[in-house]
Amino acid sequence: MKKILLFTGDFAEDYETMVPFQMLQMLGFEVHAVCPDKKAGEQVKTAIHDFEGDQTYLEKSGHNFTLNYSFDDAIPGNYAGLFIVGGRAPEYIRLNPKVLEITRHFFDYNKPVAAVCHGMQVLTAAGVVSGRKLTGYPAVSPEITLAGGEYQNIAMDAAFVDGNLVTSPAWPGHADLIREFFKILGGKIEI
C-alpha cells in the first residue's frame, strides 16, 4: 500500500484537512497526517472558512482532528506523495526547517505533490515554485509570483497540474484536486 504524507496544523482549514485525508484513504492509500511538534494521537484544531458577503472569508471554529502519525517519525523516502492542506497552518508550519526539507525531497525526486489554498505558502518557503505554474487562494498569488512561480487564476472548484504538482485554490476544488493527484500517483479511475 502506497503511503501519503499529509501536512496539517492548528487552524488548518477543516475541509482541506479532513476531506483529503478521508478521500485518499478511500482510494487505498495509507495517509500519515502530521504536524510539527506534535505526535500521533494529539489533535489539531481546525477552522472553517466561509464566505458571507465580506471582502474575505470568515473564520469559524472547526473540528478537532486527531493526528495519526508523529511528525518526527516521518521519513520522506517512505512516501509516494505529499499533500499540503490550507488554512492558517501553512503560515507557521513553513517556519519549521524539517517541513521545508521534506517538501524539497518530494520535488528533488519528482514525487507527486498536492497543495490547496494557502498550502502554497509551504511551497514558496521551500523554494520549489520557481519556473512552475500553480494556483492557490488568490491572497497568496503575490507570494507565488515573488517566489518565481506563475500564478494560474482558475475557478475555485478546479485544479491545475504542472508535472508532479497539482494545486487548487480552495476546498471546492477537492474533486479535481484529488482526482489529478491520484492520476500522478499512478492511479486509474474507471467507471
Active site residue 35: no
For residue 154, what pLDDT is reported? 98
3-state secondary structure of 70: coil
CATH superfamily of 3-184: Class I glutamine amidotransferase (GATase) domain (3.40.50.880)
pLDDT of residue 56 exceeding 80, the answer is: no
For residue 53, what pLDDT is reported? 77
For residue 55, what pLDDT is reported? 73
**Per the residue annotation, which of 32, 49, 118, 174 is the catalytic one?**
118
Q: What is the DSSP string of 84-151?
A: E--BSHHHHHTTSHHHHHHHHHHHHTT--EEEEGGGHHHHHHHT--TT-EE---GGGHHHHHHTT-EE
pLDDT tens string 1-40? 799 999 999 999 999 999 999 999 999 999 999 999 999 9
Banded model confidence at residue 189, pLDDT cuts 50, 70, 90: confident
Banded model confidence at residue 121, pLDDT cuts 50, 70, 90: very high
Q: Say how far apart CA 100 and CA 98 lie, in whole Å.
A: 5
The rounded mean pLDDT for the chain is: 95
Residue with cell 500521533: 40
**Sequence-ordered alpha helix ranges (H) in 27-96:** 89-93
Banded model confidence at residue 61, pLDDT cuts 50, 70, 90: confident
pLDDT tens string 126-184? 999 999 999 999 999 999 999 999 999 999 999 999 999 999 999 999 999 999 999 99
**Per the residue annotation, which of 32, 35, 117, 174 is the catalytic one?**
117
For residue 110, what pLDDT is reported? 98
CB 109 within 8 A of CB 33: no
- Over range 62-89, report the average pLDDT: 97
Active site residue 117: yes
